[in-house]
Structure 1
Amino acid sequence: MKKFINAKPNRTATILLGLLPFALLILVYMIGSDARLAINPSDKLLPSFSHMGESMMRMAFEPSRRTGDYLFWQDTLSSLTRLGAGVLIAACIGLLIGTLTGSLPYISASFSPLLTVISLVPPLALLPILFIVVGLGEVSKIALIAIGITPFIARDIQGRTKEIPSEQLVKAQTLGASTSQILIRVILPQIMPKLIDAVRLSLGAGWLFLIAAEAIASTDGLGYRIFLVRRYLSMDVILPYVAWITLLAFLVDYLLRKANQRLFPWNAEVNS
């Protein structure tokens, strides 16, 4: 008899087993919701799926009486714009710092200790400072995301750069390549797929900083809406918004992974 540790599910079983925990969570929620609503039909803690659907249909397809916007889509657009801008800035700065500190010993000796110290500073502790310095507008929210994940990306790229075989650098120098040519034509192409991986790993923290900034000072956004309706115990809005954020995070990660495979197919072959 085959040992269980050696047993591997086929493709169909893998899909079913992956869906099983979600189905169980939905079932447990439905049972709990039905039990609470049976006792108190106006209970807000565990709203029914139909109630959540009605609330989201209203927010997604009925314009706001105050602004005329479709709140759900406006919140989504605002949050994704802030997240995208912050992550893009962090990726560019992290790539520059990580590549230079990972490949140039003098730069590494000068800036690596500073990078280590900055990475230990809790980004959320800097939020009041950002509000004071740049105000409560979009800049402070984008800056928090960038500041929060740049050290992680930079340190990851630094480590990846140091992993490049020294033989490649020696060969390039033997062929007469300058420092800038080695950086651009030898190191950078090998680092780009690693950058996408670093961005993927940092997105969880990026969402955290985005929600925190929107919750404290904003007039729209997914995080703003969640913290706005919490005072009314509107779980019929909060739960779908949390699920939507989770879905968006999954989709962004999926698109980045597919982009990495399409742009740098050789990287997948090297890692396989």
Structure 2
Amino acid sequence: MKRLINITPNKPAKWLLGLLPFVILLVIYMIASDARLAENPNDKLLPGFGQMGDSIKALAFEPNKRTGDYVFWQDTLSSLQRLGLGVAISAFIGFFIGIVNGALPLIRSAFSPLLTVISLIPPMAILPVLFIVFGLDELSKVALIVIGVAPFIARDIQRGTAAIPLELRVKAQTLGASSWQLIWRVLVPQMMPQLINAVRLSLGSAWLFLIAAEAIASTDGLGYRIFLVRRYMSMDIILPYVAWITLLAFVIDYVLAQISRRCFPWHHQETEK
């Protein structure tokens, strides 16, 4: 008798099993929504898919009477611009600090404790400070993402750099490489896939910081819209916005994964062995 622990589904079965929880949740929501709407057609807690579709259609395809903007797409563009800029700056700063700390023991001894302390500071706790220092414009929102994400990336890159086999460093030095040549020609290429992985892992936190900043001080953005309509209990807008954020996060993660596979196939061949 084959033990459960040894049963591995084939590819079609994996797809079906992966979709099954989503289908179950969807069916449960539809049943619950129909039951509540049957009792109260004006119920706002569990709107029907038709209600959500009408609300998003109005935001996405009908211009705002005051500004002329298509609100849904303007919110999406604003949030993606803030997210992209914040994550890009975080990746650059985190990669630089992580490589230098991981490669040079002298630098690591001096700055690694400081990096650890900074990474333990809750970014949301200093959000008021950012608003005071940088104002309520875009800079404070991007700064929150950078402060929250960059230390995580830096620590991850530092650990990965320090874990690179000593043999590679010795061989490079035997061939006459200087410290900076060793970093640039050996360590940086080795850590590029790790950087993409670190960015992928930090995207959830980046979205959290973005939405929090938009909710507190913004005039557009996905997080701003969700917190704006919550006072009216407009779940027909909130739920589609949450689903849209989730879809965007999934697409960004998928794109980064494909970039990593195409640009660094050697890394994935090693990890899949």
TM tier, shorter chain?
A: over 0.9
Residue 250 of structure 1 is matched in structure 2 by 250
CA deviation vs aligned residue, 1:95-114 (integer Å, no higher than 9, x gap): 01000000101100110000
- Are 1:13 and 2:13 an aligned pair? yes
> Residue 156 of structure 1 aligns with which residue?
156
Q: Secondary structure at the residue paired with 1:164? A: coil
Give the deviation of 1:220 after TM superposition.
0.3
Name the CA distance, whole Å, in 2 between partners of 1:172 and 1:13: 47
Post-superposition offset of 1:151: 0.6
- For 2:97, the equivalent position in structure 1 comes to 97
Query: Aligned partners of 2:173, 2:190: CA distance in 1, in Å?
Result: 17
Secondary structure, in 3 states, of the residue corresponding to 2:118?
Answer: helix
Task: Output the CA distance in 2 between the equivalents of 1:10 and 1:98.
Answer: 40
1:216 is aligned to 2:239: no
Cα distance in 2 for residues equivalent to 1:105 and 1:18: 45
One-letter amino acid of the counterpart of residue 131, structure 2? F
In 2, the alpha carbon distance for the partners of 1:69 and 1:160 equals 45
Aligned match of 1:109: 109
The residue type paired with residue 139 of structure 1 is: L
SS at match of 1:46: coil
**Which residue of 1 is the match for residue 181 of structure 2?**
181
SS where residue 66 of structure 1 aligns? Answer: coil
How many angstroms does 1:198 deviate by? 0.3
Secondary structure of the residue that 2:64 maps to in structure 1? Answer: coil
Paired letter, 2:116: T
What fraction of aligned residue pairs are identical, expressed as a percent? 67
SS in 1 for 2:241: helix
State the alpha-carbon separation in 2 of the partners of residues 208 and 119 from structure 1: 16
User: For 2:27 and 2:6, how far apart are their aligned partners in 1?
Assistant: 31
Question: Match for residue 259 of structure 1?
Answer: 259
Q: CA deviation at 1:17?
A: 1.0
Match of 2:190 in 1: 190
| Cα shift readout 1:237-265 (whole Å, capped 9, x = no counterpart) | 00000000000000000000000001111
User: Per-residue displacement from partner, 1:160-189 (whole Å, max 9, x unpaired)?
Assistant: 001111111111111111111001001000
Query: Could you tell me which amino acid in structure 2 is paired with residue 34 of structure 1?
Result: D
Map 1:195-210 onto structure 2 (within 5 A). 195-210=195-210
| 1:169 aligns to 2:169 (yes or no) | yes
SS in structure 1 of the partner of residue 8 of structure 2: coil
- Counterpart of 2:129? 129
Give aligned pairs, total. Answer: 272
Give the letter for the 1:248 counterpart.
L
Cα distance in structure 1, aligned partners of 2:14 and 2:269: 24
The separation in 2 between residues aligned to 1:78 and 1:123, in whole angstroms, is 21
What are structure 2's unaligned runs of at least 5 residues? none
Give the counterpart letter for 1:88 in structure 2: A
List aligned pairs for 1:39-118, cutoff 5 A. Answer: 39-118=39-118
Displacement of 1:64 in angstroms is 0.5
Kindly state the Cα deviation for residue 158 of structure 1 after the two structures are TM-superposed: 0.2
Q: Distance in 1 between matches of 2:27 and 2:43?
A: 19
State the distance in 2 between where 1:159 and 1:32 align. Answer: 48
